[in-house]
Amino acid sequence: MGLHEGHRSDRRLAVNPLLTDADPLGALETAPPVHRLPDGPMPPPMAYRLVHDELLLDGNARLNLATFVTTWMEPQATALMAECAEKNMIDKDEYPQTAELERRCVAILADLWNAPDPRTAVGCSTTGSSEACMLGGLALKRRWMREPRNAGRYAAGARPNLVMGINVQVCWEKFCNFWEIEPRMVPMEGERYHLDGERAAALCDENTIGVVAILGSTMDGSYEPVPEICAALDALQERTGLDIPVHVDGASGAMVAPFLDPDLRWDFRQPRVASINTSGHKYGLVYPGVGWALWRDKDALPEELVFKVNYLGGQMPTFALNFSRPGAEVVAQYYNFLRLGHDGYRAVQQAARHVAGHLADRIEATGSFRLLTRGDELPVFAFTTRDEVKNFDVFDVSRRLRERGWQLPAYTFPANREDLAVLRVVCRNGFSMDLADLLLNDLDRLLVELRRQPGPMGEHGVENRSAFHH
């Protein structure tokens, strides 16, 4: 039981007398409860200030180097989102133009990801990449079940499986749990921190519904080798006849690679890639939460997953997991596409990669850290302390930087590299070179103190908490 947990029902908020519209003395008599509804209403300014003041304890989003999620947008985009806050994305009959903007976004992404015919690609907006991954996984399972040779085996109790690296985002573990799929995860080994083609193919069999390739691992920012994985599965099909599709989890990289790595054939140019997802609220540059799921054509999305809904006078197809949700983020996504264009997105993502490279080089130059990645794929990199550093560890660095407001996650890697603890930096739009230099200045000052420690604080009873954020 936490501090004061036994008195939860008695706790009340204190109100500043000056928050009342007319009578300062009346505010002194106002003490709304925290864990039940107040008996009556209060003036809007008072309610606003009570909530506003509590939120002062949150961290500064611009100094959050843990999250991939967008923390800054232009005022015009924010204004559009406010104008659309009340619009329900699912209600396409009442808000047909919002639905049209969603359709345009899907077409833009199909073109960006080199769909064979962008006009026939199928896709939808979601609340984020987690939902989009669930949809991609469901389509893989249903396509596997539709095969005559698999249907009987499934009815007899065969358990379908999904092959991926141990570094996948937790949404894939949820998918496997919720939809009764065996997760076949390739562990890390040595300096290999993600999936590769050889190990992916080795885990596939007649019950494999697909392979998940991640374009931008949240662990270290590296791209998984989609072309190599597809080539290994091509060779597997030649040997065994197994035709295993690939889903590319491009939560971050699908909005980076098209602009900065145009020659990398990770997308629908690979015939084996059946579907792709991305997060509009990550490097799509939109506030949370919006994601996108696309399939190369109608054949890749089983028809039974598409529902025709008679809603408020209109027949409409829907294949997202959620129903009612705000349309504001979809409108903001279209605003960004219109505002930036291809060259604008390239400039924004290149600036983030430039900042990441600058930080990585300077951190390596301190002599205390070893880089695992350099931010030259996603503008994200991971680093750990050098073997000879005995006075402090990555958790000490994370803890001390938080004192200055920087949120820099420290965490251990999964199997089979639980021995490796790292720090990770995510560079996003809005994290400027000036802010990067301020971070470096604070790190330089802290290193002087950390080098004087007798040893890592975890060895002296200070709790080492992971601050890992996907």
The neighbour count for residue 82, using CB atoms within 10 Å, is 10
Pick the more confident residue, 225 or 309. 225
Co-location of 17 and 136 in the same domain: no
Pick the more confident residue, 45 or 390. 390
Residue 70 lies in a domain: no
Per-residue burial over 189-200, b = 16 or more CB atoms within 10 Å of its CB, e = otherwise:
eeeebbbbbebb
Grade residue 32 by pLDDT with cuts at 50, 70 and 90: confident
Per residue in 317-342, pLDDT (tens digit) is: 678 888 888 899 999 999 999 999 99
* Region label for 140, one of left (φ > 0), alpha (ψ between -120 and 50) or beta (otherwise): alpha
Co-location of 204 and 241 in the same domain: yes
* Residues 248, 133: Cα–Cα separation, whole Å: 9
What CATH number should be reported for the domain holding residue 379? 3.90.1150.160
Residue 467 lies in a domain: no
Predicted pLDDT of residue 59: 86
Co-location of 34 and 127 in the same domain: no
Per residue in 386-425, pLDDT (tens digit) is: 999 999 999 999 999 999 999 999 999 999 999 999 999 9
Percentage of the chain surpassing pLDDT 90?
A: 72
Co-location of 87 and 53 in the same domain: no
Per-residue pLDDT, averaged over 60-77, amounts to: 93
Please check whether residue 321 is in contact with residue 134, taking contact to mean a CB–CB distance below 8 angstroms.
yes
Co-location of 18 and 122 in the same domain: no
* Residues 190, 299: Cα–Cα separation, whole Å: 40
Domain endpoint, select from 337, 366, 400 = 337
Average pLDDT, the chain: 90
Taking 80 as the threshold, does the pLDDT of residue 308 lie above it?
no
Grade residue 130 by pLDDT with cuts at 50, 70 and 90: very high
DSSP state of 387: T
Predicted pLDDT of residue 71: 93
DSSP state of 6: G
The neighbour count for residue 112, using CB atoms within 10 Å, is 22
Taking 90 as the threshold, does the pLDDT of residue 462 lie above it?
no
Per residue in 71-89, pLDDT (tens digit) is: 999 999 999 999 999 988 8
Co-location of 133 and 256 in the same domain: yes
Percentage of the chain surpassing pLDDT 70?
A: 90
Of residues 256, 247, 189, 253, the one with CA closest to residue 217: 253
Taking 70 as the threshold, does the pLDDT of residue 468 lie above it?
no
Per-residue pLDDT, averaged over 102-117, amounts to: 95
Please check whether residue 401 is in contact with residue 451, taking contact to mean a CB–CB distance below 8 angstroms.
no
Co-location of 87 and 148 in the same domain: yes
Give the list of residues 6+ apart from residue 86 with CB closer than 8 angstroms, or none: none
Of residues 439, 437, 105, the one with CA closest to residue 293: 105
Residue 69 lies in a domain: no
What is the secondary structure of 159-218 as a DSSP string?
A: PPEEEEETTS-HHHHHHHHHTT-EEEEEPPBTTB-S--HHHHHHT--TTEEEEEEEBS-T
Co-location of 333 and 369 in the same domain: no
Pick the more confident residue, 153 or 15. 153
Q: Among 49-53, 133-137, 372-376, whose mean pLDDT is lowest?
A: 49-53
> What domain count does the chain have?
3
* Residues 58, 3: Cα–Cα separation, whole Å: 20
Taking 50 as the threshold, does the pLDDT of residue 1 lie above it?
no
* Residues 270, 227: Cα–Cα separation, whole Å: 7
Of residues 424, 357, 426, 368, the one with CA closest to residue 392: 368
Residue 470 lies in a domain: no
Per residue in 254-267, pLDDT (tens digit) is: 999 999 999 999 99
Grade residue 3 by pLDDT with cuts at 50, 70 and 90: very low
Of residues 266, 327, 22, 279, the one with CA closest to residue 130: 279
Tracing tokens 């080539």 back to the chain, one arrives at: 231
DSSP state of 415: T
Co-location of 404 and 361 in the same domain: yes
Grade residue 469 by pLDDT with cuts at 50, 70 and 90: very low
* Radius of gyration, CA atoms only, the chain: 25
Residue 66 lies in a domain: no
307: enclosing H helix or E strand: strand 307-311
Domain endpoint, select from 337, 370, 385 = 337
Co-location of 314 and 361 in the same domain: no
Per-residue pLDDT, averaged over 442-467, amounts to: 81
What CATH number should be reported for the domain holding residue 288? 3.40.640.10
Co-location of 324 and 387 in the same domain: no
Of residues 140, 191, 144, 200, the one with CA closest to residue 168: 200
Q: How many residues does the chain have?
A: 470
Per residue in 222-280, pLDDT (tens digit) is: 999 999 999 999 999 999 999 999 999 999 999 999 999 999 999 999 999 999 999 99
Residue 131 belongs to domain spanning: 76-337
Co-location of 266 and 141 in the same domain: yes
Domain endpoint, select from 337, 370, 398 = 337
Q: Among 12-21, 31-40, 62-71, 206-215, whose mean pLDDT is lowest?
A: 12-21
Residue 127 lies in a domain: yes
